Structure formats: structure tokens, C-alpha cells
A = this chain, B = another copy of it.
Amino acid sequence: MSKVQNTYLFAKGREFPSFEGMTKDEMKSLLGGKGYGLYLMHCVLDLACPVVLNLPTFHAHGLDENGRLPQDIVADVRAGLADMEQVTGKKLGDPVNPLLLSARSGAKFSMPGMMDTVLNIGLTDAIVDTLAKGELERFWLDSYRRLLQMYGDVVEQIHEDGEDPFEKVLHTFKAERNAETDLDLTGADLRELISRYKAVYVRNDREFPQDPVEQVVRSAEAVFRSWGNERAVFTRSLEGISDALGTAVNLQEMVFGNKSVRSATGVYFTRDKATGIKSEDKLDGTVLFQAQGEDVVAGIRNSLPMEALLEHPDPAFHAIYHEMKETGTRLEEFLGNMQDTEFTIEEQDGHPVLFWLQIRDGKRSAKAESVIAANLCDEGIITREQAVMQVNPERFEELLFPQLNPAARDAATVITSGSAASPGAASGMVVFTQDKALELAEQGKPVILVTVMTSQEDVKGMKASEAILTSTGTKVSHAAIMATAWGIPAVVGASEISIDRAAKAFTANGFTVKEGDVITVCGTKGGVYLGEVATIIPEDLDPRAQQIIDWAHEIKALDVRANAEAGETQAAYDNGARGIGLFRTEHMFLGDRLPFIQEVLFGNDEAKAKVALEKIFEISKGDFAQSMRIMDGYGVTIRLLDAPLHEFFSHDADMEREENPMLGHRSVRMAITHPAIPRTQIRAVLEAAYELKVEGLDPKPEIEIPLVVVPTEVAAILAVTTEIATELHAKYGVWVPYALGIMVETPAAALQGEAMVAALREQLPGVAPEAHPVHGFASFGTNDLTQTTLAISRDDADKFLPLYVEQGFFAHHPFVSIDPRVERMVKIFVDEARAVDPEFEIFICGEHGGDVYTIERLHLIGLTGISMSPGKVYRSILKAAQSQIVHPRA
């Protein structure tokens, strides 16, 4: 790798710096994103672009205690400036032909507006005196005024009573002169303004340097320092950008879009950033005549569409329009992505001359993302893999949920907000109880369940609701997980809400909302609004988006299944899931069906219990058959009853309350102590499969044992499955293959890969080989595995875990993305199990299965597949494909 330099000069006619041996990513780390773009424009694409001296990112960490660049670096900057003089033929401080510069920040990852910029560096009293004598008097005076203002703000950080005094002076002065915009100020006005600006310096005991080199160096230092300003630090913490990266400073020769009415500045996107379409007769972008870059952003005057260039009386502008369009195509072909560009047109010797100031991969809407990627691929510019890589898996979901109409949202009254726990938006009448929810829903009225928190018992009420709002909980609480699973919008942890169930009302921020009042909940952003707010309901998946998913399907190495019960299976299949990774059987015991299980568990009438079990059997069999029918030919993993006993009591009955129910008498432990229940469930799974087989279908039932800690538990269940399979064979005269597996959700199970595989493969003496599972499997329940590995109860973590995450005790929220310690548990199991049986099937079915960070980690570990709520199937297919592209697996 070539030696890192203290400065890099990008200029036509000079030898380009060498970055031999560096990757694109390393170059971006060194030069910053903007610096890398400038490198490309100069050294690769040969665009018209003003000369640039890049001061790389590492200087941001090399400032001395006064925030100054060390002397040897300053010497290199001086040498670089001298080079720029030579290249441009201009000279710093020359009153006739001065070299003027901008100093712009540019970190590896773009943080628009977060750091500082100084323009027009190099102007001095002497230069302005000279140049302002010509016809551009106003232009030079205005440029100098801007420099004084920016330098005072950015470099000297002059504030008076916490305000920017220059802005105040300008505002007062414009009022005095009855000037509506800057353009209304005359040359004399501007001279007066400059003198008032200088007075600001004087009364703050500062001096504006008349040495252009000092201006440059001080400006560069200030921009470097702005890496550490509050806004930038906050933005980085939000977006997960490392503090260690630093920003670069780009010292670029000024070109002036504000030089004359035949000068302009603007931004141009090579495709439409909203629709993704590349139109032949309409370019996406804006142009602003006689303006500098920041004026476009500030929106001080109406900007014009790009086609304004075509309508200009001077055909030279038409040529510029066509040149930009052709260059856009060339950029895309070269860079393989839609580009967001900044440009300036400066009148030179009476002719408009186009300069490109910046290019970068353009930000775009979620919808445009797929359209652009798929079209670029169809156009032969990028490969399928590259197209898949261009689509953000998490944003993909935005295509699917009803969203608030942005205009309606902005006009709506905000009651409060909370965690955006399940995406989508919906309006409905507020209810506080399940009964009321069901009552109104039956009348066809949309309802929103508002409660402190939800539990298994609220399932029917939740399902009957358009949206869910809770005052406690987090994105990983029951309400959030269930709502996500069912695709119901939810906002949780809206802690400003105070619910008075007796009064049938909640209050928040002075609003009182009563039962029956209509509110709107936005689970995508977390807002809660008074009344009904209009939503936009997306059409079917855009064909281009479907194309991306289809390619991802072909590429990915991980199987993608869904966590779904009978009623959700079709949606899961439609979203692309092939197989069910977790069919929870708890819910089939709730609601109307609760009395049956209560009879079995707590009744003391054996005959009634038998009847109840028969009911459970029939209901279960029907549900299992429905899923296996839809997922014909694909595995359907049905988990045996996982819930603790106490969940089958009502909220009020607190008898049997366990100290730590999470570590209590539940799951396979219940199966061992109450064997009639797993026996009924296993019979229902297998008989459903036998019936489908007789119909000619290809059911693939997979029975999963929850909370296993010892192989002997597997042996106990295996005895039952083989017995029932043998009975069914006698009844139906065929064998239907089935699989038996364990849920790995305890450290004990994770540490016994070898023993668990052996237990699943055990051949029982005297039992037909065909009565045994065709194969064993394991599926990680990473919620519980996280709880046990970290000794953190998800339900109790709100008191300390947010603080832990915020203060960096954990790198990320362990219930959102897999914790490294849990990941190690996973790896220990996988390595041991695969050492015994390289084909052993291993899945994940915890909510982590739909988390993009986690998916990549699991791809690397070598899992067979992942499973997640139906709403996260798309993102998971995409992320699985991206993981395979980045880290190909055989």
C-alpha cells in the first residue's frame, strides 16, 4: 500500500496521487466520502471539476490541545496551496487574479449539515477593494460579506447572548433598507454591511486575518474540529458511526454560481429519487440562477426544474443540459448506481461553464430503491448480486404497510409518542378491555386497544384491534412481538399515557381520550394522533421489488421460513416463506378453547378431562393440517406447548404464581409432568399429516420440544412419537416421515450438541425404523437463550437495560440483535452438532431471526435456515442473499 500523505492534490494536468493497494472502502476512510468522490471526478471520470486539496481524515485526531494543526502539517498544506496556484495560474492574495477556496468537511459516511463549511476563503480588504471597482462590484462585496460571516461563526465562533450576531446585523440592516432579499442590497449597502460585520469582530476582541493562508489554515482547523461538535456526535451515536473515523477537509477552488445572472448552481439526480424511473425528457433535480450552493438548500428563492436550462434563451445552456444528461448516464455506467450530484455554472468571459462539485450514490425512497436496482440490472449496468446489495432490507418493509399520508400527518394533532414497535398505521376507536374490543369489532367498528401492557390473555382482543397502544414495554415486549407477528401496527412504552380503566379514559399531555374516541397510531414512527389521519395503502408488491426478492431467493444460502400459526400461514407463503419455522401452539389453548385445557390441568373429573383432550386434539389437528396444506412439500415445525401453567389462569388468580416463571415449570417440563398434553399434540400433528398424505399431498411435519436441558427429555418425547407413529401406520397402512427436534433456548442445551443429536437419532429397540423421525433438527430460541445467558429477564429489563445500551455496556440491544455471548453459545452448539452430523438441520426461530445484523452472523455460523414473523420475511430473504453475496457459502 502506498504511503499515506498529509495532503492529496486532485488537479487536471498534474500527476494523480497513487492509492495502489487500497480498497475503495479504505480510500473512503482516508479521504472521506466527498474526497473520494472528488478523486473519482478528477482522476477517474475526468469531469470538469475545480482543483482540490484534500486533507485526509486522520488530521481530525491530530490537532493539538488548542485545536490547531501541527506545524509540519501546516507546511504541507502551504506546499499544497502553492501547487494549486501553479495549476490554476491564480495566486492567493493577488488583487487581480486571486485564488479563492472553499473548505468543506467530508467524513466517510455522509452526515449532511452536521459539520461546518467556509466559502470564499482568500478574499481580503485589498482584493475586494480592487475587484469591486469592476462591473462585479456587488458580487465581490457580497462574497466578502459572506466570508466574514462564515469565518466569524465557524472559525472564531463569535456568539452574542447565544445568537449569531452577523445574522442579526444582516436582518436589521435589510429591515433598515427595506430589502426583501440580498439581491435588493446595493454595492453601497454591502460596503456598510461589511463595516458593521467588522465591528462585530472588534467588539468581540477578534480579528479577521488579512493573510489568505492564515484564513485557509484556520478554516481547515475549524472544519476538523466540527467533527467533535454536539450535533455531529449526536448524529453519529444515532446512526452508529464510529467516532474514530474523523472528517477530511477538502480545500477546493471556488467557482461562483452567484457571479452573474448567467451563473447558476443546482443538484441533479441521475434517476428520479422518488419513483426510481429514468425519464428521457425530464431530469430529476433543480437549478437556481445567480446563487451559491447553500442557497439551494436554504430555499431562499424558488428553484427551477432542470428543464429551465432547455428553456434558456442562450443555447449554450441547452448544451449544458444535454451534457449533464449524458454525463449522468456515464456516471451510472461507471459507478453502477444512481448518482446525486451538485454542480455550478459560472459565467466566464461571457460563456456559461459547467463545473461538477460533488457526486455520490443518491439517497432515494424505499420504492425507488428496488426500481433503480432492478432496472440497472436489466440495463446491463450491474449484476443481480449488485442489484440485491443496493436494496436496504429494513426499508423494504415500508413498501408493505399502510402508512400515514405525510401531509395529513403533518396537519394532525399529536397526543403523544412511544416506541415504534410494529410498522404500519391505523385509526380506530379507543377501547381499554378485551371484551369491549370484541364487542365493537363484532359490530364492524375499528378499535384500538389501549392498555398498560398485554399478555397472552389479551390475544383475542389484540387480534380484533386495528392497532395496539401500550403505556409500558419495549420493542421486544409481548405486545410488540405479537403485533409484529400479526402485522398489526403497535406503539408501546408510550409512557406519558396514564390510563384510568375505571373512568374508561386515558390522559397524556393535557389530552383526555375516552373510550370510543377515535385516535390514529403510527407503528412505523411511533406517533399517536387525535382523530383519524389519512393513510396510504400500498398496492401489491411492486413488480420491480418482487424481481429483487426473486433474485434474492435464488442467491441466498439460508432457508427462510416464517413463525406463523394456521391463520398466518398463507400470508407467510405469499411473502416468500417456504416452510414454517415456528408454529406456536399456546394460542390454540386460549380464548374459547381455554376451558378445555383448564379442565385437563386443574379439573378432577377424568371423564371430562378426556372429552376436553379430544376437543383439543380435533382443534389442533385442523390447525396443523391447514398449515401443512399451504406449506405442502415444505417443513412445518410445530412446537409442543411452551407456556407455563400459570398462563392458563386468569389475570386475577395468582395462586400457583412462580417466583421466576421464566425458569419455572413449563414447556417440556410440563410435558413430562402432564404427559397427556404432549401426547395429544403429537397425535394431532401426526394424524393431520397422515390425513393429508392419504389425500396425496406431501406433508412434512416437524415436532419441536421446547426448553430442553437434558437428552433424557428428548428420549421421553421420542418414546411417544414412535408409539403414535406406529399406531397410525397400523391405521393408515403407510408411513409418513416426520422430523423431531429441539428448541435450543438454554445454555445447557447449547452445550450438548453432540448428546442432543445422538438422542434425536436414538433407535428404540423393538420399534420399526420407520416409526422413528427421518431426521433430527434444532432451532434456536434466542429470546430465552439471551435471557438465560445474560441472566436478564426481558420483562424486567426496562429498569436498567436501556441505560446499559445507552452507556455502551452492550454494543447493541441484546433482545434486538444477537449478543456476542449468545452468538458464542450458538456457535458451540452448531460446531458440536455438525461434527457429529454435517447434515444436521439447525434453524433460528426467535425474533432475532428477522434482525439483519443477526441474519448475517447466523449465515456465517452456518445455520440451515432462519424463521421470523411473516412481516419480516422479505427483509430476511434480502439480508440472507446479501450475506451470501458478501460471504459466499458453499
Contacts and interface: CB of A to CB of B under 8 A. Distances in A.
A286 interface: no
A14 interface: no
Contact of A789 (B664, B673, B788): B788
Interface in A779-796: 784, 787-793, 795-796
Interface string A707-724: 101101100100000000
Interface string A788-830: 1111110110011001100111100000000101001100000
Interface stretch (A565-573, A745-753, A770-778): A745-753
A660 interface: yes
Contact of A747 (B659, B788, B810): B788
A709 B790 contact: yes
Given A660-B661, A747-B788, A673 B803 contact: yes
A664 to B, nearest CB: 4
B751 A824 contact: yes
Interface string A505-543: 000000000000000000000000000000000000000
Contacts of A799: 664-665, 673
Given A672-B809, A673-B799, A751-B821, A663 B665 contact: no
A665 B803 CA distance: 12
Interface in A655-692: 658-665, 669, 672-673
Contacts of A713: 809
A827 to B, nearest CB: 10
A793 B747 contact: no
A793 B664 contact: yes
Interface string A722-757: 000000000000000000000001111001100000
Given A669-B800, A796-B658, A803-B673, A787 B746 contact: no
Contacts of A821: 709, 747-748, 751-752
A660 B795 contact: yes
A661 B658 CA distance: 11
Contacts of A665: 796, 799-800
B803 A660 contact: no
A717 to B, nearest CB: 12
Contacts of A810: 710, 712
Contacts of A751: 789, 821, 824-825
A617 B655 CA distance: 41
Interface in A56-89: none
A458 to B, nearest CB: 16
Contact of A663 (B673, B707, B792): B792
Contacts of A808: 712
A663 B793 contact: yes
A748 B661 contact: no
A660 B746 contact: no
A659 B662 contact: yes
Contacts of A790: 709, 746-748
Nearest to A674: B800
Given A658-B796, A661-B660, A796-B663, A747 B825 contact: yes
A707 B790 CA distance: 9
A711 B541 CA distance: 45
A194 B809 CA distance: 88
B661 A796 contact: yes
A380 to B, nearest CB: 49
A712 B796 contact: no
B660 A796 contact: yes
Contacts of A748: 789-791, 819, 821
How many copies make up the complex? 2
A236 B665 CA distance: 30
A789 B752 CA distance: 12
A791 B707 contact: yes
A369 B189 CA distance: 111
Contacts of A710: 809-810
A610 B787 CA distance: 35
A747 B745 CA distance: 13
Given A712-B809, A788-B788, A790-B709, A659 B825 contact: no
Contacts of A662: 659-660, 663, 791, 793
A55 B717 CA distance: 41
A472 to B, nearest CB: 12
A175 B38 CA distance: 121
A793 B747 CA distance: 14
Contacts of A663: 660, 662-663, 787-788, 791-793, 796
Nearest to A752: B821
Interface string A633-674: 000000000000000000000000011111111000100110
Contacts of A784: 791
A647 to B, nearest CB: 12
A791 B788 contact: yes
B660 A789 contact: no
Contacts of A804: 669, 672
A442 B707 CA distance: 50
Contacts of A787: 660, 663
A789 B661 contact: no
Contacts of A660: 660-663, 787, 793, 795-796
A644 to B, nearest CB: 9
Nearest to A669: B800
Contacts of A809: 672, 710, 712-713, 716
A661 B661 contact: no
Given A712-B808, A800-B665, A821-B709, A747 B672 contact: no
A552 to B, nearest CB: 33
A796 B659 contact: yes
A218 to B, nearest CB: 31
A751 B673 CA distance: 32
Contacts of A661: 659-660, 796
A673 to B, nearest CB: 5
A508 to B, nearest CB: 23
A663 B789 CA distance: 10
Contacts of A795: 658-660
A789 B790 CA distance: 10
Interface string A691-712: 0000000000000000101101
Nearest to A644: B796
A152 B456 CA distance: 65
A519 B741 CA distance: 53
A665 B712 CA distance: 34
Nearest to A798: B665
A709 B792 CA distance: 9
Contacts of A716: 809
A796 B664 contact: yes
A674 to B, nearest CB: 10
A793 B661 CA distance: 8
Nearest to A654: B654
A809 to B, nearest CB: 5
A790 B662 CA distance: 11
A812 to B, nearest CB: 12
Contacts of A745: 791
B673 A793 contact: no
A52 to B, nearest CB: 38
Contacts of A824: 751
Nearest to A713: B809
A803 B675 CA distance: 13
Given A660-B796, A672-B807, A746-B789, 18 more contacts: A659-B796, A663-B796, A664-B793, A669-B800, A669-B804, A672-B800, A672-B803, A672-B809, A673-B803, A707-B791, A713-B809, A716-B809, A748-B789, A748-B819, A751-B789, A751-B821, A784-B791, A788-B788
29 contacts: A658-B793, A659-B795, A659-B796, A660-B661, A660-B662, A660-B787, A662-B791, A663-B787, A663-B788, A663-B793, A664-B793, A664-B799, A665-B796, A665-B799, A669-B800, A669-B804, A673-B799, A673-B800, A746-B789, A746-B790, A746-B791, A747-B788, A747-B790, A747-B791, A747-B821, A747-B825, A748-B819, A784-B791, A788-B788
Which 10 pairs, one residue from A and one from B, show the smallest C-beta to C-beta distance? A663-B793, A660-B793, A659-B795, A664-B796, A747-B747, A748-B821, A746-B791, A665-B799, A658-B796, A660-B662
